[in-house]
Amino acid sequence: MMEQDLFALLPEKRTPDQDQLIQNLSHLYEVSQAMMATLRLGDLLDVIMAAVTMGGGFGFNRAMLFLDNEKNSVLQGMVGVGPDTADDAFRIWSDFSQKQFSLLEWALAPRPRGTRQESRFDRICKRTLIPLLPEGGVLARTYLEQRWFKMDDEQADSFVWEHIFSKVGGGAFASVPIVSRGNAIGVIMVDNMYNRKPIDDDDLKILTIFASQAGMAIANSRLYHTLEKAHRELQETQEKLLQNEKLVALGELMASIAHEIRTPLVSIGGFARRLSRSFSLGPEKKFAEIIVCEVDRLEKILTELLVFSREQHFDFQAHNLNEIVEESLLTMSSELKEDNISTIQELDLTIPLVCCDYHQIKQVLINLIANARQAIKGTGMITVRSTYSAEDHQAIVEVIDTGPGIAPDVIENIFNPFFTTKREGSGLGLSIVHKIAVHHRGTIEVKNNPEMGTTFILKLPAKDT
């Protein structure tokens, strides 16, 4: 640069156009720094829209930002910034003029999530879907042709008028594409609804440059989000693999121990029963019956250990889930009646068939009902409800008890093997439930309300018709 060129840039020698150019470049640099300060998409979009509408920025009265949704071939409204009335506009501008801070300072300032006040303009934006077709109007063209448009009449574009300005008012407006690496990823629409300042070509040129910077920042944010999601899924997969390896080793050990214990236990049980029958009365008979009872309990635990440890074989057939529910409740009816627990069946008769192993799913439901019975500890109610979710094509059974609920500090462990808060039991009941559900490509979930009861939710894929 020649000496005379440098001399011409001195403040007292600059033309108004040069002053404006320097101001725009300075603002672009500040905005670029602010956008680099965050990788979270929501925060980034707030920074972008603040740059477009703040008085110290590009100064447009209102702005809407739309991003592409490749799955549906539409532009989805993400955020709209702008006051709903002229009074709101002048109040906001007055507040901003009194606060001396840069956009970068604003971007870096801690703000609790959800504190940004949602305006009607913002709600309209978020409800707007722009088809990337001719009927999408000028906003679709901005994206598809990757060039800016300026409209002097708010009703000149039927789509914008029908979906936006007819609801929040409008005037002359413009749109610029958000571009990243040569590809459009969104659109910014701006207007000066309240001060009626004309939008000239220079405004749109500088806004287009800014939109390209914003496009790179948004693309980086999306990439970061994708990598973060992939990392989280990788961690979850690694944890599942480690858990599976532990369970396999544990299963082999349990199977070996169970077999070693079962043989002498059968002998003990047999002799105890013979002794019990040989005594008519007296303490000897009572003691023998106690031995028989405890042997039965140990045999039940060993059976659960073997069920959990061995690789099960499933007989998948089409079954009516309601029939399995009814039979499971019938199996448990005497125990529930003995504890004065009433039951309610709320069965969806239109629920489709499920492809499952009848006996295994019956075991799941019996385990859940037995678990609910133990949780109630006295008089109470168990509700068993079946429903169908057409959205994800799943048949659902809920087992709801009126017990005290599960303590929050233990709920994450209830499906772990051997975990129990009861004095009796192996802690394998819910682990077996989880294992069977997984083998059926289903899920088992729990909704807990301490002091109000617990809901276990079994979801199984419905049979394709």
Kindly report, residue by residue over 100-150, the tens digit of the pLDDT: 555 555 555 555 444 455 788 999 999 999 999 989 999 999 999 999 999
395 vs 363: which has the higher pLDDT: 395
Q: Distance between alpha carbon 202 and the CA centroid of its chain, in Å?
A: 43
Q: Would you say 416 and 377 are in contact if contact means Cβ atoms under 8 Å apart?
A: no
Looking at residue 81, the DSSP 8-state letter turns out to be E
Give the helix/strand (H/E) hosting 149.
strand 149-151
Nearest to 74 by CA among 136, 26, 122, 120: 136
Stretch 399-410: mean pLDDT: 83
- Let me know how many helices (H) and strands (E) the chain has, helices first: 14, 13
- In tens, the pLDDT along 3-15 reads 444 444 455 555 6
Lowest average pLDDT, out of 20-29, 63-72, 182-191, 360-369, goes to 20-29
Residue found under tokens 């701006």: 190
Stretch 426-441: mean pLDDT: 79
Cβ neighbors of 147 (< 8 A, separation 6 or more) are 177
Using CB atoms within 10 Å of the CB of residue 328, give its burial: 0 to 12 exposed, 13 to 18 middle, 19+ buried: buried
Read off the tokens for 22: 């320097």
- In tens, the pLDDT along 150-206 reads 999 889 999 999 999 999 888 899 999 999 989 999 999 999 988 888 998 988 988
CATH of segment(s) 17-221: 3.30.450.40
Mean of per-residue pLDDT scores for the chain: 80
Give the C-alpha separation, 58 to 204, whole Å: 10
Q: Distance between alpha carbon 196 and the CA centroid of its chain, in Å?
A: 43
Strand partners, 397: 386, 458
| Secondary-structure class of domain 314-461 per CATH | alpha beta
- Give the confidence band of 310 by pLDDT, cuts at 50, 70, 90: low
SS3 329: helix
Q: Taking 50 as the threshold, does the pLDDT of residue 447 lie above it?
A: yes
Give the C-alpha separation, 11 to 178, whole Å: 34
Nearest to 312 by CA among 439, 430, 433, 437: 439
C-beta pairs of 250-258 under 8 Å, 24+ apart in sequence = 250/309, 250/417, 251/308, 251/309, 251/310, 252/309, 254/305, 254/306, 254/308, 254/309, 255/305, 255/306, 255/309, 255/310, 257/305, 258/302, 258/305, 258/306, 258/309
Half-sphere exposure at residue 122, Cβ-oriented, CA atoms within 13 angstroms: 11
What is the per-residue pLDDT for 72? 78
Q: Taking 80 as the threshold, does the pLDDT of residue 80 lie above it?
A: yes
Say if pTM beats, i.e. exceeds, 0.75: no
Domain spans of the chain, in order of start: 17-221, 314-461
Q: Taking 80 as the threshold, does the pLDDT of residue 73 lie above it?
A: yes
Q: Taking 60 as the threshold, does the pLDDT of residue 93 lie above it?
A: no
Q: Taking 60 as the threshold, does the pLDDT of residue 419 lie above it?
A: no
